[in-house]
Amino acid sequence: MKFRVERDVLAEAVTWTARTLPTRPPVPVLAGVLLEAAGDGVLTLSTFDYEVSARSTVPADVDEAGTVLVSGRLLADISRALPGKPVDVHVEGTRVVLTCGASRVTLLTLPVDDYPALPVMPPVFGTVEAEVFAQAVAQVTIAASRDETLPLLTGVRAEFEADRITLLATDRYRLAMRELPWHPASPGTSSSALLRARTLSDVAKSLTSAGTVDLALVDSTSHGLIGFEAGGRRTTSLLLDGEYPPVRRLFPEQTTTHAVVHRTSLVEAARRVSLVAERNTPIRLSFSEGTVVLEAGQGDDAQASEALEATLVGEDISSAFNPHYLLDGLGALGTEFVRMAFTHSSKPVVVTGQTSPEGDAEADFRYLLMPIRFAS
């Protein structure tokens, strides 16, 4: 195998492809990136750990076609460190030699025959705008659980209905739901899938430069597979098995009280007040006509409070929340104002965005947050 490729092209492709490599692979070959140089001037880089695969294609001047497997993270580090000149790559026995200007690096190869076959990309069943998709995923994955003992809750449920996709995630303490438009390949498409939140977040962020993302899905009771492809990059991931809880019904049909606050002001005040809140200590929000007061700390501990202007519709109400979860929800909004809707001080609050104090709440993104007890 022998080819030449631009340094920046190689570095970007290797870095993107190797990002999914396992930190502690069960077998050494799974730490490798597969390089395939084709006679048509295409270099393909691939990784696979039996759950997630990544594949990237870039142009290259190929003199001799061939395939080689080398350490992915090492190749990524080296390619980024090379000078800004074309990189010549060729194989010498069991070694790969990279030459770039005056730099020459030799890497040991891994046994290609031991590398698993990459999964086939499922049929494309729709497309979505890359930027909208990335924003929606970022809003929802904040609520996915990090507790691997509850694997179902580490995922994001995706529901595909007509011209809308609904993404849902929860860790039992908050619930995020985002609806976004998409373009199904066939009218009347209806399906659902449980995706790994970490993989979904990584894929969405890495494909933002593309105009649209192709979505592909094989939905089955076991070994389901979802695929994403855009701009010469492709990722597939096994779906999580199991029945996701019916969390959509947790959103109340109607609320009796709601308050509207300037979002940035509320975020900054919550950050200041929460500085005195020790681990797992809540901050309390007390709403009355024209004002919301934020408080944290009690007794002999450090205490803080701050008042902000707010618009209240309904009875005065006070509730306390985990400050980190509250800030996550506020940070996921892209509007100037935030609307917090209550049914009772001990019931979850529904957080949505609002463009003006008197406007309507935006329904595309909703964040449900459980209150916690604030000791007197």
For residue 175 the two structure tokens come to 């619930």
Taking the C-alpha atoms of residue 32 and residue 73, their distance in angstroms, rounded to an integer, is 8
215-224 pLDDT tens trace: 999 865 556 8
Q: Which pLDDT score is estimated for 376?
A: 52
Q: Which pLDDT score is estimated for 374?
A: 63
Is the distance from CB of 122 to CB of 217 less than 8 angstroms? Answer: yes
Residue 23 pairs in a beta bridge with none
Same domain, 198 and 260: no
Q: Which pLDDT score is estimated for 40?
A: 87
* Residue 295 resides in a domain: yes
Is the distance from CB of 196 to CB of 17 less than 8 angstroms? Answer: no
* Residue 13 resides in a domain: yes
The whole-model pTM stands at 0.90
3 state SS of 30: helix
Is the distance from CB of 174 to CB of 367 less than 8 angstroms? Answer: yes
Same domain, 99 and 195: no
Q: Which pLDDT score is estimated for 245?
A: 92
Query: What is the DSSP code (8-state) at residue 93?
Result: T
Is the distance from CB of 257 to CB of 347 less than 8 angstroms? Answer: no
Same domain, 104 and 130: no
* Residue 14 resides in a domain: yes
CA 330: distance to chain centroid? 17
Q: Which of 232, 248, 264 is the last residue of a domain?
A: 248
List the domain range (segments joined by +) for residue 193.
124-248
Is the distance from CB of 353 to CB of 338 less than 8 angstroms? Answer: yes
Query: What is the DSSP code (8-state) at residue 267?
Result: H
Q: Cα-atom radius of gyration of the chain, to the nearest Å?
A: 25
Same domain, 163 and 97: no
Is the distance from CB of 117 to CB of 196 less than 8 angstroms? Answer: no
Is the distance from CB of 60 to CB of 40 less than 8 angstroms? Answer: no
Number of domains the chain contains: 3
67-87 pLDDT tens trace: 999 999 999 999 999 999 999
Residue 17, domain CATH:
3.10.150.10
Q: What are phi and psi of 307, to 5 degrees?
A: -110, 140
Ranges of residues in the chain whose predicted pLDDT is under 50: none
Same domain, 70 and 139: no
Neighbours of 92 (CB within 10 A): 9
For residue 65 the two structure tokens come to 């076609």
Q: Which of 71, 95, 114 is the last residue of a domain?
A: 114
Find, among 271, 206, 285, 228, the residue nearest to 18 by Cα: 206
Same domain, 204 and 104: no
Give the list of residues 6+ apart from residue 56 with CB closer than 8 angstroms, or none: 13, 16, 17, 44, 45, 46, 232, 233, 234
Q: Which of 114, 141, 165 is the last residue of a domain?
A: 114
Q: Which pLDDT score is estimated for 188?
A: 81
Same domain, 267 and 216: no
Amino acid 279 reads R
Taking the C-alpha atoms of residue 203 and residue 236, their distance in angstroms, rounded to an integer, is 10
Q: What is the mean pLDDT of the chain?
A: 92
